[in-house]
Amino acid sequence: MISRSPSRFCRLHETIRPYERNVSSPARAHPTNALVGPLGTSSYPLSGAGPLVGLRLAVKDNICTKSLPTTCSSKVLQDYHSPFDATVVSLLWNNGAEIVGKANCDEFGMGSLNLYSVHGPVVNPFGLQGEESAAERRSAGGSSGGSAAAVAAGLCEAALGTDTGGSVRLPASYCGVVGMKPSYGIISRWGVVSFADSLDCVGVLARDIDTTRRVHDSLAVWDHRDPTAAPPHVRTRAKRVSESALEYLKSETLAGLRIGVPREYFPSELEQSVVAPLRSLLNQLRARGATIVPVSLPSTPYALSAYYVISSAEASSNLARYDGIEYGMRVEPPPGANFTKTANVYAYTRSQGFGREVQRRILLGTYALSADAFENYFLQAQRVRKLIKADFDRVFCIPSVLNSPSSPISAGPSEGVHVLIHPSAIRTAPALPTLDSEGNPEDGTDAPTSTLDAYVQDVMTVPASLAGLPALSIPAGTGADGWPIGASVVGQWGSDELVLKVGEIIERCRGDT
């Protein structure tokens, strides 16, 4: 067993300092492979003022930056430079943040273990210490694994990721950091390379709740360029309906705060070593006055299947733009190629430019949208999504302002809960497979043992994504193997501040143990 002493991250940070001073050295030289762009800030002058002054941040490589490459960790965009900054990038440096580089990720955000990247896999820094022979190579989670690993390794205080079905919360759990997915539409997606438009959110990863809140609040502003952004009057209404719950968190005790524990979030795949730290956390919250309420979300078992149908369908449409003609990589058809159909020309670029996982999801999504499968797969998945949202609305006592954006808000159920708490992941970080020269697992399978094993990693996180709810993963202890596990806090749409406040209490509970 590797030692888990508190000074381990300090020793790791000492090994990083010489690398930080040499901004001309490639970011991938660090053993985590967390950063893939130049580590330096000359292209982003510091504003000298704002709530983020003194914070170093990394930006996930699928968020556009005009002064750094935006590759989406894909061969098809390996040399792409965006002509503009994403809204969130502009807000970062306008508020005083120091942008240190781009973070590695799964190609186009498709993956749960950060294996599918043209830059190579991200290594979880929790296992990197001492002699190289003693290092334990495990996954940092995906798809925002580079963002989580950069924070955990001390390369930056915070990082931006994107969360489509858990891509911020899962890496946060594996790496032992805080990961926040906001309510859908609260943070602008303008300038974020699309994977699945109805699910994608820009999220924040940091070492603690205070830093997470500082970054989140600086980015949670309405952007007229984002058609999916929640308008100001809806944000105001959401804030107003959640204020009563915030009152419970201002006293010395948590009396009045009702926390739900969903029965369906303890599936057979869940490792038992994850349950004990969560049970201990719930006991601490109960001791502080909170009421713990078992709840049921009966549509949860169908969430994972619905998510992969919907997200793959949207991805197949979004990635159709990478055809080798407008921008990005182009592979010239060989002499004698059939030019009678444009698809024949596109195929050479797309076959070589897209990785195996992206190709798999394009095929799955294209089939789901075909005439033969549309009713049985895509429309059924959308019906399941509606049921999942209804499940959440039924258990929360805070009503959803999205159900009545302009009419009077009806109260939620009197016996409902303010937030839900459940495990962030079914296990601690899985081991990284040994890859061949082309970046594929040497045993010929998809990591960790099969494609389905990788997809199941998202089983705890996709319901909140399908419902567009704010969700926070916060360190909750360690598993039997000594590696981090996270607890997730989920709230009603627009209750982002309530979720962060509950996370702050959990952070204090952890500090008291």
Q: Please give the average pLDDT of every successive group of 10 residues along the chain, which has 513 residues.
A: 38 35 44 80 66 96 95 95 96 94 97 95 87 77 97 97 98 98 98 98 98 98 97 95 88 91 94 95 96 97 97 97 89 89 90 96 97 96 98 96 66 79 96 70 51 84 98 96 97 98 94 72
- CA–CA dist 30, 36 (Å, integer): 10
In 153-296, where does DSSP find H-type helix? 169-175, 209-219, 232-241, 243-247, 275-287
Query: 196: alpha, beta or left, given left = phi > 0 and alpha = psi -120 to 50?
Result: beta
Burial class (CB in 10 A: 0-12, 13-18, 19+), 45: exposed
Catalytic, 143? Answer: yes
Catalytic residue list contains 60: yes
Looking at the structure of the chain, the number of domains it has is 1
Token output for 323: 């055809």
In a domain, 158, yes or no: yes
Strand-strand pairing, 56-60 and 419-423: unpaired
SS3 228: coil
Structural element, H or E, at residue 204: strand 201-206
Told to judge if 273 belongs to the known catalytic residues of this protein, a careful annotator would answer no
In this prediction, residue 336 carries a pLDDT of 87
Residues in CB range of 500: below 8 A, 6 or more apart: 180, 209, 212, 213, 216, 472
Name the maximum alpha-carbon separation found in the chain. Answer: 77
The beta strand positions in 388-429, using DSSP E, are: 419-423
The letter for the amino acid at 387 is: L
Residue 3 lies in a domain: no
Distance CA 495, CA 17 (A): 38
Q: What is the model's pLDDT at position 450? A: 61
Question: Tokens at residue 211, please?
Answer: 């830093």
- Residue with token string 């006592």: 397
CB contact at 8 A, 87 and 97: no
| pLDDT of 378 | 97
Q: How far apart are CA 173 and CA 169, in angstroms?
A: 6
Cβ-in-10-Å burial (0-12, 13-18, 19+) of 511 comes to exposed
| Token couple for 3 | 């030692």
| Placement of tokens 């009545």 in the chain | 404
Q: Which strand (E) or helix (H) includes residue 102?
A: strand 98-103
User: Residues 6 or more apart from 438 whose CB is under 8 A from it?
Assistant: none
Q: Is there a contact between 157 and 213 (Cβ–Cβ < 8 Å)? A: no
Question: Is the distance from CB of 444 to CB of 289 less than 8 angstroms?
Answer: no
Q: Rounded to an integer, what distance in angstroms lies between the CA atom of residue 166 and that of residue 168?
A: 6
Q: Give the C-alpha separation, 365 to 72, whole Å.
A: 19
467 found inside a domain? yes
* Secondary structure of residue 134 in the 3-state scheme: helix
Q: Of these residues, 117, 144, 167, 488, which one is catalytic? A: 167
Strands, sheet with 98-103, edge to edge from the N-terminal-most edge strand = 98-103, 56-60, 158-163, 201-206, 178-181, 471-478, 484-491, 419-423, 258-262, 291-295
Residue type, 1: M
Catalytic residue among 73, 82, 90, 143: 143
Q: Give a three-class secondary structure readout of 71-82.
A: CCCCHHHCCCCC
Of 46, 161, 188, nearest in space to 103 by CA:
161
Q: Given the DSSP bridges, would you call strands 419-423 and 258-262 parallel, antiparallel or unpaired?
A: parallel
Per-residue model confidence (pLDDT) at position 414 = 65
Q: Does residue 2 fall inside a structural domain?
A: no
Per the listing, tokens 């601690």 go with: 428
Rounded CA separation 320/306 (Å): 22
Give the list of residues 6+ apart from residue 412 with CB closer than 8 angstroms, or none: 393, 396, 397, 398, 399, 492
Degrees to nearest 5, angle at CA 200 with 446 and 225: 145
Choosing from 60, 75, 181, 501, the catalytic residue is 60
Burial of 4: CB neighbours in 10 Å, binned 0-12, 13-18, 19+: middle
Q: Is 431 helix (H, G, I), strand (E, B) or coil?
A: strand
* Residue 1 falls inside a structural domain: no
Among residues 307, 254, 199, the alpha carbon closest in space to that of 421 is found at 254
Helix (H) or strand (E) holding 356: helix 356-368
Where residue 176 sits, what CATH number does that domain have? 3.90.1300.10
**If you search the block for the tokens 């309420």, which residue do you land on?**
293
- Return d(Cα 291, Cα 254) in angstroms, integer: 8
Per-residue exposure over 457-491, b if at least 16 CB sit within 10 Å of its own CB, e if not: bbbbbbbbbbbbbbbbbbbbbbbeeebbbbbbbbb
Tokens 């001791």 sit on residue: 287
- Asked, for residue 174, whether it belongs to a domain, the answer is yes
User: Distance between CA atoms of 408 and 411, rounded to whole angstroms?
Assistant: 10
Q: Which domain does 94 fall in, by range? A: 22-513
